[in-house]
Amino acid sequence: MKNAFATIFMIPFDFFGMGKAKDSQTDGGKAQVRDISPKQAKEIMDGSDPFILIDVRTRDEFQRVHIKGALNMPVDTIESGAQTGLPDKNGLILVYCASGARSARASKMLAAMGYTNVNNFGGIMNWPYDTVSG
């Protein structure tokens, strides 16, 4: 049943192009948000390049389940949290939430603030790899 729900839920995302890698320019062509798949995000995480993984869900959601190594920065704290938690505006940033809506919003906010390498991989509900709680 869970797989059937995931399949049914993903149809609208695939219809609207979610889950496919695509780039969008913001901030006069300087800052970039890239939509990537969970598989692409996992490949980055397993690679040797440094990155910052941001979970933009609420603290309660984060405590229930999150991807190991993620920094919890709820979407409504992105502007203030980025000032101290994300000092490198050119660093590789991976962003996720529950379903993809908040991560898309947060990614655009980061790009508007001048972050140049923001990668949105949607929601943890589509993350087929290991997670942790607490």
For residue 92, the domain's CATH number is: 3.40.250.10
- 97 carries an active-site annotation: yes
Given strand 118-123, what is the order of strands in its sheet?
Answer: 22-26, 31-35, 118-123, 93-97, 52-55, 71-72
Domain limits for position 70: 19-126
**pLDDT at residue number 68:** 98
Within-domain flag for 133: no
Q: Does a structural domain hold residue 13? A: no
pLDDT in tens, 30-55: 677 999 999 999 999 999 999 999 99
Provide the whole-model pTM.
0.79
Buried b (16+ CB within 10 A) or exposed e, 108-129: bbbbebebbbbbbbbbbebbee
Q: Is residue 119 part of a domain?
A: yes
> From its phi and psi, is residue 19 left (phi > 0), alpha (psi between -120 and 50) or beta?
left
Catalytic entry in 78, 97, 110, 124: 97
Domain count across the chain: 1
Q: What is the pLDDT of residues 114-131, one digit of tens each?
A: 999 999 999 999 999 999
pLDDT in the model for residue 29: 53
Residue 134 lies in a domain: no
Task: Give the list of residues 6+ apart from residue 13 with CB closer than 8 angstroms, or none.
Answer: 19, 100, 122
